[in-house]
Structure 1
Amino acid sequence: MSLESLDSSIREIIRDSYPQIQDVNPAQKAVLDAGLLDNPENYIIAIPTASGKTLLGVMAALRTILDGGKVVYAVPLLSIQNEKVKEFKKFEEHGIKVGKHPSSSDLAVMVFESYDALTRFSWNTLSEVDLLIVDEFHMIGEYSRGPTIECAITRSRMLNEGMRIIALSATLQNMEELSTWLAAQVVEHDYRPVPLFKDILNAEEFGTKNKNDVILSILKDSVDESSQAMVFVSTRRFTESLASYLAEKIKRNLPGDKKKAFQTVAEKILDVPRRRGSLPTEVCHKLAECAQNGMAFHHAGLFDQQKEIIEEEFRAGNLLMITATPSLMYGVNLPSKNVVIRD
């Protein structure tokens, strides 16, 4: 199945909302050929990161909505929820209401905990949901968040037997057990649009005992290649200290054509608390100083708008590197050529 062979109404919305997509890739084709849009069955879709799982979810959601149904798109984090709402808002040009709760929208993007609350306390609204799409489904195996979404799905199947479930994941271990639990058809594919190379770096190979200097070397290579990088560390404090360290080291080697853009990012960051009627905090000033040198740190202690600015400016190429806690790993799409796990 190709994009041209889709129902014309779905194809029109996809073309308008995602003009960069010319056709489906091999992984998406395999899922569509397995009957995603034609069969009423539950599905578990396990394909690699960046191979287009969201588009498959969107196609199924549009099919349900155009048939008069309601859809919940469940995600693990608020940052992903905000990103998806912003992405899906384009559908409103075609008369589809997009929001964060199914009582007021055709397509509701909800974090796992909000959907769990819906299954506990809003049974009438739950009964109106025709399709549940669970993004980052592999998080069902995490000890902290997994039980929440597992219980919510179980409750959904008991209270709304007609609800269809589509689970999207890049990695899954106990596939047979999960498919039996959901009574779902499994579609797996190994297509990856961007080759993935893994390596273990030893600080001594770089002539240093400081891991941060290894990251500095990667950052300098990224600057030379006009690419971007991300580094994951274990704590908020480490994101800030690493970003400050790298910003100080790289400031003499900044691309001349990017300095103005970096300054603009710094000003946007400081404007966030000012628009709220308060002065920028010490953390805000530290973040802005890093941004002036093309660096940014990202953690839950920042204002939501600041995190959105960092993500958007990184996508626009106006930041060289982000240092982040692991929360940024889940589902937020960022154009990083190099990803480093320091801790």
Structure 2
Amino acid sequence: MASKNNVTELILTGLFQDQGVQRVCFVVFLPVYLATVVGNGLIVLTVGISDSLNSPMYFFLSCLSLMEVSYSSTVVPKFITDLLAKIKTITLEGCLAQIFFFHFFGVTEILLLTVMAYDRYVAICKPLYYTANMSRPVCHLLVAGSWLGGIIHSMVQILVTVQLPFCGPNVIDHYFWDLHPLLKMACINTFVEGVIVLANSGLISVFSFLILVSSYIVILVNQRNHSAEGRRKALSTCASHITVVILFFGPAIFLYMRPSSTFTEDKLVAVFYTVITPMLNPIIYILRNAEVKIAMRRLWGKKVNSGVE
């Protein structure tokens, strides 16, 4: 790869140019990232320890929380440290590694959200078959399939990109590396590669989003003849998931289902889904789910009591 590339080191302009604003961003985003790690980590720990959270829904939730930490950690730690650096550099190999893991964890999360929607569909619309259809081996296979889908997607992205010769310019107006700015550095016309990237990233998001919307429409139609209390319970179990889906898919579709651009708002939208959304997800699930809150109180109570003893 080095023999056909004139570019070995890449420079990012960052989120903002002003050094004072960047220091303020450091003070703001460091606690946000720490909250992301702690909040999602608490969910993984609580589901893993608590006997009351042994249903498939909470198993998938713990997998989603683990994915949120991994997804955020591919971008945010370097982004935060770069806020204090005057020159923000990364090697070409480091750039490709960041792109691979960013897309791997991102698509795996998309597929996990789709699996969680299927879980709610079976639980609400086919409750008599829920135990058989969502057994522990089936749940493990669905999660493994999500990881496999993420790997295949990310491998396609990297194989398309790694074959290109890069000439520069090596300065990109962003705070992390993604495929569109990297394609702009190529020495050749990348129309075909751009179409592949668009199809591989954008269409996965759109099709998964349509499947998710369809599943919840079916759930709502299925509940129309049930009692008001039954509809309330069904919607309550789905509300957190629907909120997370909107927060995750909205920015992703906005960025990947249109031609690449240099709009400043692209960076702000990217901040939302790489930094803010992973922090909001545990808050949404904890605040809207009584069982998770009770299990966390019990877990915290046990830790406090064991510490006193």
**TM-score for both structures, normalised by structure 1:** 0.23
**TM-score for both structures, normalised by structure 2:** 0.25
* Structure with higher RCO (Cα < 8 A, 6+ apart): 2
